[in-house]
Chains A and B, each alone.
Chain A
Amino acid sequence: NAGVTQTPKFRILKIGQSMTLQCTQDMNHNYMYWYRQDPGMGLKLIYYSVGAGITDKGEVPNGYNVSRSTTEDFPLRLELAAPSQTSVYFCASSTTPAPYEQYFGPGTRLTVT
């Protein structure tokens, strides 16, 4: 049971490039989330999903897109990367009886230059 896995661990992008951050969970959780964490700023919710085929915007969705075709996977797409998207990105998942108990992945450190 690997929990929540994220790839890549690190990535450097040039301004205007695009990339997909991968997230997979093997706990059969229906809820999944994407956060970004900037230094000293806590965690901000980007997008979330309550099940396959259902996604919704969080607090800071601009510049990102998501899809959820399976229960296990919840990729985050960055289009036209900007320096403001330099951050650490965390994927998390939780289940219906205790949605507040979120399990986090190890994170992806992204730098846009």
Chain B
Amino acid sequence: QKEVEQDPGPLSVPEGAIVSLNCTYSNSAFQYFMWYRQYSRKGPELLMYTYSSGNKEDGRFTAQVDKSSKYISLFIRDSQPSDSATYLCAMSGGGSNYKLTFGKGTLLTVNP
């Protein structure tokens, strides 16, 4: 079983839709959970991070972590064409373990 699993998609939705992106993981030591957004031919940029379990909201984006199920989600409300990108989940054990383990990424297209 891979440490981090992420459905690569592609996912295509109409503008205004609610988007749900997900990752599962196997390593119980992961404490920090990140979502990176990567536009075509660009470097990834940090969108949100969550420590341990719970929810975090930032504008149209909500990140959820369920450590009991080893499952994380990113929700995008009122999706816009500018949200079209690859979304990568990433995880870290935190503390002195600063290395990130990435999912393969999900390609999202929001159609106007």
Report which A residues bind B (CB closer than 8 A).
4, 31, 33, 40-43, 45, 48, 58, 90, 92, 94, 99-107
Can you show 15 pairs from A to B with CB atoms below 8 A apart? A33-B99, A40-B8, A42-B103, A43-B44, A43-B100, A92-B43, A99-B92, A100-B34, A100-B90, A100-B100, A101-B34, A102-B46, A105-B43, A106-B43, A107-B42
- CB pair B102–A31 under 8 Å, yes or no, is no
Residues in B with CB closer than 8 Å to A102 are 46, 100
**Which residue of chain A lies nearest to B31 when distances are taken between CB atoms in the complex?**
A100
Residues in A with CB closer than 8 Å to B45 are 103-104
- For the complex, give the distance between the alpha carbons of A92 and B41 in Å: 16
- CB pair A43–B88 under 8 Å, yes or no, is yes
Report which B residues bind A (CB closer than 8 A).
6, 8, 32, 34, 41-46, 49, 88, 90, 92, 94, 98-100, 102-105
Known: A100-B98, A102-B46. A40 touches B104 (CB 8 A): yes
Question: What is the interface of chain A mostly: helix, strand, loop, or mixed?
Answer: strand
Output the residue of A43, A45, A90, A100 with the most chain B CB within 10 A: A100
- CB pair B105–A42 under 8 Å, yes or no, is yes
- CB pair B49–A100 under 8 Å, yes or no, is yes
Contact among B6, B44, B46 for A90, CB-based, below 8 A? B44
- CB pair B100–A42 under 8 Å, yes or no, is no
Residues in A with CB closer than 8 Å to B90 are 100
- CB pair A104–B43 under 8 Å, yes or no, is yes
